[in-house]
Amino acid sequence: MFLEAHAHIKGKNAEKFSFLEAEKLQIKRVFLNAQNEEELECLLSLYQEFPEMIVPFFGFHPFDVEKIKQADFFFLEDALKTYDFLQIGEIGLDKTKPFFDKQEEIFKKQLALSLKYQRAVSLHCVKAFSTLIPLLKTIKTAHAPFLFHAFSGGIMEAKALQNRSAYFSFSKKAKALSFVPKERILLETDSPSRYASFTEIVKVYEEVGLDSSLLQNNAKAFLTFRKK
Protein backbone atom coordinates (compact mmCIF):
# COMPACT_ATOMS: atom_id res chain seq x y z
CA MET A 1 0.00 0.00 0.00
CA PHE A 2 1.05 3.55 -0.65
CA LEU A 3 0.59 6.45 1.65
CA GLU A 4 0.05 9.97 0.39
CA ALA A 5 1.63 11.91 3.23
CA HIS A 6 0.48 15.43 2.47
CA ALA A 7 -2.63 16.65 0.70
CA HIS A 8 -5.25 19.31 1.45
CA ILE A 9 -8.95 19.48 1.55
CA LYS A 10 -9.90 22.82 0.05
CA GLY A 11 -13.12 24.54 1.07
CA LYS A 12 -16.14 22.39 0.49
CA ASN A 13 -14.48 21.01 -2.58
CA ALA A 14 -13.83 17.54 -1.21
CA GLU A 15 -14.28 15.92 -4.59
CA LYS A 16 -11.03 17.56 -5.68
CA PHE A 17 -9.32 14.70 -3.97
CA SER A 18 -9.96 11.89 -6.39
CA PHE A 19 -10.66 8.68 -4.55
CA LEU A 20 -11.01 6.79 -7.78
CA GLU A 21 -7.55 7.82 -8.87
CA ALA A 22 -6.18 7.00 -5.44
CA GLU A 23 -7.63 3.49 -5.59
CA LYS A 24 -6.18 2.95 -9.03
CA LEU A 25 -2.74 3.97 -7.80
CA GLN A 26 -2.99 1.74 -4.75
CA ILE A 27 -2.96 4.66 -2.36
CA LYS A 28 -4.42 3.15 0.75
CA ARG A 29 -3.93 6.02 3.14
CA VAL A 30 -4.04 9.76 2.76
CA PHE A 31 -2.93 12.39 5.25
CA LEU A 32 -5.48 15.08 4.54
CA ASN A 33 -5.03 18.55 6.08
CA ALA A 34 -7.81 21.01 6.98
CA GLN A 35 -6.90 24.64 7.75
CA ASN A 36 -10.14 26.09 9.10
CA GLU A 37 -13.44 25.09 10.68
CA GLU A 38 -15.26 24.79 7.38
CA GLU A 39 -12.59 22.49 5.96
CA LEU A 40 -12.54 20.45 9.16
CA GLU A 41 -16.26 19.85 8.91
CA CYS A 42 -15.83 18.67 5.36
CA LEU A 43 -12.85 16.50 6.30
CA LEU A 44 -14.71 14.84 9.16
CA SER A 45 -17.61 13.88 6.95
CA LEU A 46 -15.18 12.46 4.41
CA TYR A 47 -13.46 10.54 7.21
CA GLN A 48 -16.79 9.03 8.24
CA GLU A 49 -17.20 7.77 4.72
CA PHE A 50 -13.63 6.52 4.30
CA PRO A 51 -12.25 5.83 7.79
CA GLU A 52 -9.73 3.29 6.55
CA MET A 53 -8.25 5.62 4.01
CA ILE A 54 -8.14 9.06 5.55
CA VAL A 55 -5.93 10.25 8.37
CA PRO A 56 -7.32 13.69 9.22
CA PHE A 57 -5.03 16.57 10.23
CA PHE A 58 -6.20 19.95 11.46
CA GLY A 59 -4.18 23.05 12.32
CA PHE A 60 -3.45 26.69 11.57
CA HIS A 61 -1.09 27.22 8.65
CA PRO A 62 1.63 29.91 8.90
CA PHE A 63 0.09 31.69 5.88
CA ASP A 64 -3.12 32.26 7.85
CA VAL A 65 -1.76 33.58 11.14
CA GLU A 66 -3.06 37.12 10.74
CA LYS A 67 -6.65 36.00 11.21
CA ILE A 68 -6.10 33.49 14.04
CA LYS A 69 -7.66 34.44 17.39
CA GLN A 70 -7.65 32.94 20.88
CA ALA A 71 -11.06 31.38 20.24
CA ASP A 72 -9.52 29.35 17.40
CA PHE A 73 -7.22 27.58 19.86
CA PHE A 74 -10.17 26.63 22.05
CA PHE A 75 -11.83 25.24 18.96
CA LEU A 76 -8.70 23.28 18.03
CA GLU A 77 -8.31 21.87 21.52
CA ASP A 78 -11.98 20.88 21.66
CA ALA A 79 -11.62 19.12 18.33
CA LEU A 80 -8.56 17.20 19.60
CA LYS A 81 -10.46 16.17 22.73
CA THR A 82 -13.51 15.08 20.77
CA TYR A 83 -11.75 13.24 17.94
CA ASP A 84 -8.90 11.06 19.12
CA PHE A 85 -8.07 10.18 15.50
CA LEU A 86 -7.36 13.83 14.63
CA GLN A 87 -3.69 14.78 14.12
CA ILE A 88 -2.21 18.30 13.95
CA GLY A 89 -1.24 20.03 10.72
CA GLU A 90 -0.36 21.75 8.60
CA ILE A 91 1.42 24.04 11.03
CA GLY A 92 4.86 25.64 11.01
CA LEU A 93 7.08 28.59 10.31
CA ASP A 94 7.90 30.44 7.12
CA LYS A 95 10.49 33.24 7.08
CA THR A 96 9.47 34.26 3.57
CA LYS A 97 5.99 35.20 4.81
CA PRO A 98 4.90 38.13 7.00
CA PHE A 99 4.12 38.20 10.76
CA PHE A 100 6.93 35.89 11.81
CA ASP A 101 6.51 36.71 15.51
CA LYS A 102 2.86 35.78 15.38
CA GLN A 103 3.70 32.66 13.37
CA GLU A 104 6.03 31.63 16.17
CA GLU A 105 3.47 32.29 18.88
CA ILE A 106 0.80 30.28 17.04
CA PHE A 107 3.20 27.47 16.23
CA LYS A 108 4.28 27.14 19.87
CA LYS A 109 0.69 26.89 21.07
CA GLN A 110 -0.09 24.16 18.54
CA LEU A 111 3.11 22.31 19.41
CA ALA A 112 2.06 22.35 23.06
CA LEU A 113 -1.30 20.85 22.11
CA SER A 114 0.42 18.12 20.09
CA LEU A 115 2.40 17.21 23.21
CA LYS A 116 -0.59 17.35 25.52
CA TYR A 117 -2.69 15.10 23.29
CA GLN A 118 0.15 13.07 21.72
CA ARG A 119 -0.75 13.67 18.09
CA ALA A 120 1.42 13.50 15.00
CA VAL A 121 2.32 16.86 13.47
CA SER A 122 2.51 17.79 9.81
CA LEU A 123 5.03 20.59 9.42
CA HIS A 124 5.72 23.40 7.01
CA CYS A 125 9.15 24.94 7.54
CA VAL A 126 10.72 27.39 5.09
CA LYS A 127 13.97 29.18 5.97
CA ALA A 128 13.04 28.90 9.65
CA PHE A 129 14.95 25.84 10.88
CA SER A 130 17.08 28.01 13.18
CA THR A 131 13.92 28.87 15.10
CA LEU A 132 12.17 25.54 14.79
CA ILE A 133 14.93 23.11 15.75
CA PRO A 134 15.63 24.72 19.16
CA LEU A 135 11.89 24.61 19.85
CA LEU A 136 11.72 20.89 19.12
CA LYS A 137 14.81 20.34 21.26
CA THR A 138 12.96 21.65 24.29
CA ILE A 139 10.64 18.61 24.09
CA LYS A 140 11.92 16.15 26.64
CA THR A 141 9.27 13.44 26.49
CA ALA A 142 8.64 10.98 23.66
CA HIS A 143 6.51 12.58 21.01
CA ALA A 144 4.32 11.27 18.21
CA PRO A 145 6.12 11.65 14.87
CA PHE A 146 6.76 14.94 13.11
CA LEU A 147 6.37 15.01 9.37
CA PHE A 148 8.33 17.65 7.49
CA HIS A 149 6.47 18.15 4.28
CA ALA A 150 8.48 19.30 1.24
CA PHE A 151 11.56 19.27 3.45
CA SER A 152 13.93 22.05 2.41
CA GLY A 153 16.61 21.80 5.08
CA GLY A 154 20.23 20.74 4.69
CA ILE A 155 22.29 17.85 6.09
CA MET A 156 22.72 19.49 9.49
CA GLU A 157 19.00 20.10 9.88
CA ALA A 158 18.12 16.59 8.77
CA LYS A 159 20.55 15.18 11.35
CA ALA A 160 19.19 17.33 14.14
CA LEU A 161 15.64 16.37 13.28
CA GLN A 162 15.99 12.64 12.77
CA ASN A 163 16.60 12.25 16.50
CA ARG A 164 13.26 13.93 17.15
CA SER A 165 11.08 11.30 15.46
CA ALA A 166 11.01 13.25 12.22
CA TYR A 167 9.86 11.96 8.84
CA PHE A 168 10.40 13.81 5.56
CA SER A 169 8.15 13.87 2.53
CA PHE A 170 8.78 15.07 -1.01
CA SER A 171 6.89 15.48 -4.24
CA LYS A 172 9.84 16.16 -6.52
CA LYS A 173 13.51 15.43 -6.93
CA ALA A 174 15.02 17.19 -3.94
CA LYS A 175 18.65 17.41 -2.85
CA ALA A 176 17.63 16.22 0.60
CA LEU A 177 16.61 12.82 -0.82
CA SER A 178 20.32 11.98 -0.88
CA PHE A 179 20.98 12.61 2.83
CA VAL A 180 17.71 12.16 4.69
CA PRO A 181 17.59 8.69 6.34
CA LYS A 182 15.90 6.33 3.88
CA GLU A 183 13.67 4.78 6.52
CA ARG A 184 12.18 8.20 7.27
CA ILE A 185 11.09 9.15 3.74
CA LEU A 186 7.45 9.41 2.74
CA LEU A 187 5.75 10.46 -0.43
CA GLU A 188 3.44 13.43 -0.98
CA THR A 189 1.63 15.31 -3.72
CA ASP A 190 0.56 18.44 -1.74
CA SER A 191 -2.54 18.33 -3.89
CA PRO A 192 -4.67 20.07 -4.90
CA SER A 193 -2.42 23.15 -4.88
CA ARG A 194 0.35 21.49 -6.87
CA TYR A 195 -1.47 18.78 -8.76
CA ALA A 196 1.70 16.69 -8.90
CA SER A 197 1.08 13.36 -10.52
CA PHE A 198 1.45 10.48 -8.13
CA THR A 199 2.84 8.18 -10.80
CA GLU A 200 5.54 10.70 -11.70
CA ILE A 201 6.48 11.10 -8.06
CA VAL A 202 6.93 7.35 -7.60
CA LYS A 203 9.25 7.44 -10.62
CA VAL A 204 11.35 10.20 -9.02
CA TYR A 205 11.81 8.07 -5.91
CA GLU A 206 12.74 5.01 -7.91
CA GLU A 207 15.41 7.01 -9.73
CA VAL A 208 17.16 7.73 -6.45
CA GLY A 209 16.92 4.11 -5.37
CA LEU A 210 13.88 4.28 -3.13
CA ASP A 211 11.62 1.45 -4.13
CA SER A 212 7.98 1.24 -3.32
CA SER A 213 8.36 -1.49 -0.69
CA LEU A 214 10.67 0.79 1.33
CA LEU A 215 8.14 3.64 1.10
CA GLN A 216 5.37 1.28 2.12
CA ASN A 217 7.32 0.08 5.17
CA ASN A 218 8.04 3.67 6.16
CA ALA A 219 4.34 4.45 5.95
CA LYS A 220 3.53 1.52 8.23
CA ALA A 221 6.19 2.59 10.72
CA PHE A 222 4.83 6.14 10.80
CA LEU A 223 1.32 4.90 11.44
CA THR A 224 2.18 2.61 14.36
CA PHE A 225 2.04 5.47 16.85
CA ARG A 226 -1.73 5.73 16.48
CA LYS A 227 -4.05 4.32 19.10
CA LYS A 228 -6.40 3.12 16.41
Amino acid at 89: G
Per-residue string for binding with Zn ion, 29-68, x by CB under 5 A?
Answer: ----------------------------------------
Cβ nearer to Zn ion, comparing 90 with 94: 90
Interface segment toward Zn ion; rule CB under 5 A; list 73-81, 172-180, 186-194, 202-210: 186-194
Measure the CA–CA gap between 169 and 98, rounded to whole angstroms.
25
* SS3 category, 51: coil
Q: Closest distance between Zn ion and the C-beta of residue 119, in Å?
A: 17
Reported as type and span, the H/E element at residue 187 is strand 185-187
Stretch in the footprint of Zn ion (CB under 5 A) among 12-20, 80-88, 158-166, 183-191: 183-191
β-pair type (146-149, 121-126): parallel
Which residues 115-174 are close enough to bind Zn ion by CB under 5 A? none
Between 22 and 34, name the residue whose CB sits nearer to Zn ion.
Answer: 34
Alpha helices in 25-167 (DSSP H): 37-49, 70-82, 100-117, 129-137, 155-162
Say if strands 166-170 and 146-149 run parallel, antiparallel, or are unpaired: parallel
User: Which range in 16-24, 34-42, 70-78, 189-197 contacts Zn ion by CB under 5 A?
Assistant: 189-197
CA-based torsion, 210, 213, 217, 219: positive or negative: positive
- Which residue, 96 or 224, is less far from Zn ion as judged by CB? 96
Q: Segment near Zn ion (CB under 5 A), from 85-93, 96-104, 128-136, 201-209?
A: 85-93
Binding stretches for Zn ion (CB under 5 A): 90, 190
